[in-house]
Amino acid sequence: MFNYNTLKKILFSFEPETAHHIGEFGLKLLGNCKIAKSYMEKKNYISNPKLTQEIFGVKFENPVGLAAGFDKNATMIKAMKSLGFGFTEIGTMTPMPQDGNPKPRMFRYPEQKSVQNAMGFNNLGAHTVLKNLKKVYPFSIPIGANIGKNKTTPEEFALSDYKTLIKKFEAFSDYLIINISSPNTPNLRDLQNEKFITELFVMAKELTNKPILLKIAPDMEANVAIDLCKSAINAGADGIIATNTTIDYSLVPNCQNFGGLSGACLTEKSGSLFKEIARELFGKTVLISVGGIYNGKEAYERIKNGASLVQAYSGLVFEGPSMVRKINEEILELLAKDGFENIQQAIGANLK
């Protein structure tokens, strides 16, 4: 019988970025085929009152979402429910189209179930992505829009890029994410400072009433990360997403010395920083955990540590299209085992 292990062998015979394009082609076909889409949704999508939450005034039927970076141009949204995701995030989009960094810029490490990318915000630009988004929004699951500045935009004009993007995408997304934590745009992480973050969120809240979240990197001391998150929240941020990819190359033997690592190698580092942030900020803002989540046990631990939602991406490469269903099924089992009637009772349980 044809299963994901068979497909994985075929996909892994291709260079990773090529394999991603093949996957995108397949998911676009799936999204436009009603019979196949309906079949996959019934198989993978879990809608259960025990997992349902209302966040930002929006209904999330399960807590597992797709992280940014997979669907950069909003071309695969229609297939996301078929993969089981309770919400999806597109981007990162920049105002102008951008080719990204030179190839090869994506690498897989099967033994570590990890991926390394140095893509550099390659995307078709805000105008084209918005056209794609308008075709599907509003969608049956929430959509987040992840936005970043163009590589050629100097730091002193970065606010202008984010202003342009907020104005474009706020009406066609359920929430927005400020990305200043990718390691693949030169000097972008330099914007992770209290002054810029404060200016950015003050401006953003003047432009829209849509929820706006900050996504942070895992490669800083916990006290620095907490201070940055507090600055964002004080300036109006509606939530924190922790974390982006890491530039700690000690996590994978013989990896490249550029780009960001994600997948299982990031589990401990991301989970540890998230836990520190949640100790300070749980109950004060919405917390979303991402980084090395590919099974229900890890997802549930992040939830008990304060995450209302979790996200996955690299795990899909190794686990395949049944991954999200399995995560949600395991969360339901763990909720029952701990005697919780619903996910809200589990969120932050380790902190209470």
- Which pair of structure tokens corresponds to residue 215? 């996504």
What is each CA distance from 12 to 5, 226, 325, in whole angstroms? 10, 39, 23
Read off φ and ψ for residue 20, nearest 5 degrees: -65, -40
- Give the closest residue to 294 by CA, choosing from 71, 118, 66, 41: 66
- Give the closest residue to 96 by CA, choosing from 119, 124, 70: 124
Cα separation, 270 vs 241, in Å, equals 11
| Residue 182 annotated as catalytic | yes
**What sign does the dihedral 236-214-304-276 (CA atoms) show?**
negative
For 302-330, b/e burial (b = at least 16 CB within 10 A) is bbbbbbbbbbbbbbbbbbbbebbbbbbeb
324 has which bridge partners? none
Cα separation, 172 vs 138, in Å, equals 7
CA angle 163, 310, 320 (to 5 degrees): 110
287 has which bridge partners? 240
Of the candidates 181, 182, 231, 289, the residue annotated as catalytic is 182
- Give the closest residue to 211 by CA, choosing from 54, 52, 55: 55
**Three-state SS for 176?**
strand
**What sign does the dihedral 143-79-24-3 (CA atoms) show?**
positive
Q: Which residues are catalytic?
A: 182
